[in-house]
Amino acid sequence: MKTTYREAVREAIREAMDRDDRVFLMDEDVGHYGGCYAVSKGLLEEFGPERIRDTPLSESGFVGAGIGAALGGMRPIVEVMTVNFSLLALDQIVNNAATLLHMSGGAFNVPVVIRMATGGGRQVAAQHSRSLDGWYAHIPGLRILTPATLEDARGMLWTALEDPDPVILFEHVLLYNMEGELADDAGPVPIDRAAVRREGSDVSLITFGIGVVKALQAAEGLAEEGISAEVLDLRTLRPLDDDAIVETVRRTHRAVVVDEGWRSGGISAEISARITEGAFYELDAPVARVCGVEVPTPYPEHLERAALPQVEDILEAARALISGKDGTL
């Protein structure tokens, strides 16, 4: 069937609520307004205000309430309108949800799923455009998912809800309108393994989220130049699928890591280090990185575009590796 990423997420929420009475959704504007990105549109009429809960404008408050509900046996889906606002709930997520299992000696699981819109590209300036996926991937006790396809947008949520520990789902804002075909029987998908979205032999493009879309476009352009690029969708940033990362490098012997987040201290640095640790002697060139420019995301369209990784940047980095030049941007 023809659908969009937004509709796939909505159907995943609907299915979860149909299957389990303990599941409910909460955030600012998810009810009457239908969600900031229209993901929950129509769900209030279908499930009622007890299960589609509009919250006060207090991320710390409602994320904390979601954690409490999870401790009490419920299966909450806590939506945070944008990852930038999640910083107001950082204490709840990092100091409570991520640590309670450990600090209770294994007595208390926290089965909460937190959905966040992430990323730039919509001209909503610095306070609404950050990509902090890698920040959260630094925290033990959290599982970090980055659905980049319709299948993952549809299928990751239920698998996440079955996890006894906290899961964060990062949905890139530019993916919500993405259209495509989705099988009528699409359902839960595994969340433990990366996925090769395109096979290749000359260079590996390793990425996640919106980077997968851009890497696939870059791979098409490289193919026209006679360069065979493999695209690895990491899908899960914590835990990283080390085996898949090493395997793709062994096939192509070159790697470009694409991350919309900032380069310094980012997830791209971690991936590069793991390649060096696990496949150093397989490399024919240094690992290249294409990352966001280290500035607050600009508002003007031309500056925002320049600050975020684009297909042209990936093409340039891959060509540089093939030609033997430094491909880092």
Catalytic residue annotation: 59, 128
Q: 3-state SS string over the chain?
A: CEEEHHHHHHHHHHHHHHHCCCEEEEECCCCCCCCCCCCCCCHHHHHCCCCEEECCCCHHHHHHHHHHHHHCCCEEEEEECCHHHHHHHHHHHHHHHCCHHHHCCCCCCCCCEEEEEECCCCCCCHHHCCCCHHHHCCCCCCEEECCCCHHHHHHHHHHHHCCCCCEEEEEEHHHCCCEEECCCCCCCCCCCCCEEEECCCCEEEEECCHHHHHHHHHHHHHHHCCCCEEEEECCEEECCCHHHHHHHHHHHCCEEEEEEEECCCCHHHHHHHHHHHHHHHHCCCCCEEEEECCCCCCCCHHHHHHHCCCHHHHHHHHHHHHHCCCCCC
